Amino acid sequence: MASRFSRWVAGSTLVITVLTTSVIGAYGSQSIHTAISGDTLWKLSQRYNITLEQLQKLNPQIKSVSKLNIGDKIIIPATTYSVKKGDTPWLISNRQGVDLTALLSLNGLTKNSEIYPGQVLKIPPLQSASLKPYTVVKGDTPWLISNRHNIPLSDLMKANGLKSEDIIYVGQVLSLPASSVPVQSSGNAAEANGNKKTFKTHTVARGDDLWKISIQHGIPFQELLSVNGLKESHVINIGDKLTIPVYQIAIKSTPGPQYGELLDWWTEAQYVVPIGKEFTVVDFATGKRWKMKRTIGANHADCEPLTSNDAAIMKQVWGGSYSWSIRAVIIEVDNRKIAASASSMPHDIQSITSNNFNGHSDIHFLNSTRHKDGLVDTSHQAKIKQAAGR
């Protein structure tokens, strides 16, 4: 019933192309949310993790749970969080999807303050001012949208009051939280460690779109937009000139020929292994080899075996069944060997349909992060360093 209701609310949301700034201001132990296009009381209750009934009692002036007017002022109560062992303010702010400075200020803390298990902290509302609209197109799924925009899936779902079973539809307007993934747009970072960054020009041809152009030139979609000062909604025309970053990633030394180069994902590896790139994976422990292709992925490389034979080799390496267990691997690409870490479990989006592998699997590189929360996976990083001989 809840799922049917959530879909009804989403389906009845007024699609408006005008977006005004949403401001959340302090209001004692509460906050004020200024409604933007697509907001409903039900969506706000999901976004801020409070009950719909509680929200209605605080806002009796709002008569409909399925429609808000742009500019409506909604009172949002602060939620609380009980500190667990190992928590830090930064970890809590990251998991809750809130601004660290706002979390510290609301609780009378500073960056040097210590917190302890059992301590109850007030959690400020999500910063809706950082949300931007996105109109769903054919073929979209929440996972695909989160991946393309470098947003943890959990953040996207929470910002839109979505659950795993909810259906999104073409034309629906979603709210995109700010990306937690750094985008390299400065030439200075590219010059570090012997790497070089230059630029070339792409002239838009018939059939081009921004996503295809980013893949054609092996650069992240968001970087293409950033370099050219564009929004995703920008319409390109035949003959338009786009600036394309070109990266030359220097070859790094390794402790021995059996090891791979230790390349940072954000500034190096994602340009050596761009979306659409085919390469060979070598299991570090057994030496078994198979071919894969990076088909998507922003926080790390989401890859698929090229053929059913490659998928069978993967399964054999992982003991006869696909698994989330992590193994050190070497990526052989363009006469280079890169240190990496892989799991073999197929999941989510599938591009290659003839390989007997239902989905894609994950390959991590130095400092890459998880899609679900944007955090570095320490287990993957340990295997990467093993493959690098460190």
* Percentage of residues of the chain with pLDDT beyond 70: 81
Contact 295, 279 (CB under 8 A): no
Local confidence band at 99 (pLDDT 50, 70, 90 cut-offs): low
Backbone dihedral region for residue 258 (phi beyond 0: left; psi -120 to 50: alpha; all else: beta): alpha
Name the residue with higher pLDDT: 128 or 174.
174
Place of tokens 């989330």: 324
Q: Is the pLDDT reported for residue 119 higher than 70? A: yes
The overall average pLDDT reported for the chain is: 80
Q: For residue 305, what is the enclosing H or E element?
A: strand 301-305
Name the one residue in this structure whose structure tokens are 């509302």. 125
CA pseudo-torsion sign 79, 162, 300, 84: positive
Q: Looking at residue 71, what is its pLDDT? A: 78
More confident call, 234 vs 5? 234
Region 115-140: mean pLDDT is 73
pLDDT in tens, 138-197: 777 787 787 777 677 777 887 777 776 677 888 787 777 765 444 443 334 444 468 888
The more confidently predicted of residues 373 and 261 is: 261
- pLDDT for the residue 114: 86
Identity (one letter) of the amino acid at 386? Q
pLDDT tens digits, residue range 18-65?
332 233 333 345 667 777 767 788 777 766 667 778 888 888 888 877
Q: 282 pLDDT exceeds 60? A: yes
Q: For residues 21 and 35, what is the distance between their CA atoms, to the nearest angstrom?
A: 9
Q: Map tokens 């953040």 to a residue.
A: 155
pLDDT digits over 340-385, tens only?
Answer: 999 999 998 899 999 999 999 999 999 999 887 778 899 999 999 9
Within 10 angstroms of residue 172's Cβ, the number of other Cβ atoms is 18
Q: Are 328 and 383 in contact (CB under 8 A)?
A: yes
pLDDT for position 125: 61
Amino acid at 59: N
- Nearest of 130, 267, 270, 298 to residue 186 by alpha carbon: 267
3-state helix, strand, coil in the chain (%, to 5): 25, 25, 50
Q: What are the structure tokens assigned to 43, written together?
A: 């969506």
What is the average pLDDT across 325-349?
96
Identify the pLDDT of residue 278: 97
Q: Which residue has the higher pLDDT, 176 or 248?
A: 248
Cβ atoms of 340 and 331 closer than 8 Å: yes
- Residue 222's CB: how many other CB atoms inside 10 A? 20
* pLDDT higher than 70, residue 126: no
- Looking at 179-337, list the stretches that DSSP marks H as alpha helix, in order from N- to C-terminal side: 187-190, 210-216, 221-227, 270-272, 308-317
Among 97, 297, 105, which Cα is nearest to 178's?
A: 97
pLDDT-based confidence at residue 2 (cuts at 50, 70, 90): very low
Round to the nearest angstrom and report the end-to-end CA distance of the chain. 53
Quote the tokens at residue 250: 């220097």
Name, in order, each residue with C-beta under 8 angstroms of 248's C-beta and a sequence gap of 6 or more. Answer: 195, 196, 197, 198
**Does the CA dihedral 126-132-138-143 come out positive or negative?**
negative
What token pair was written down for 183?
Answer: 């985008």
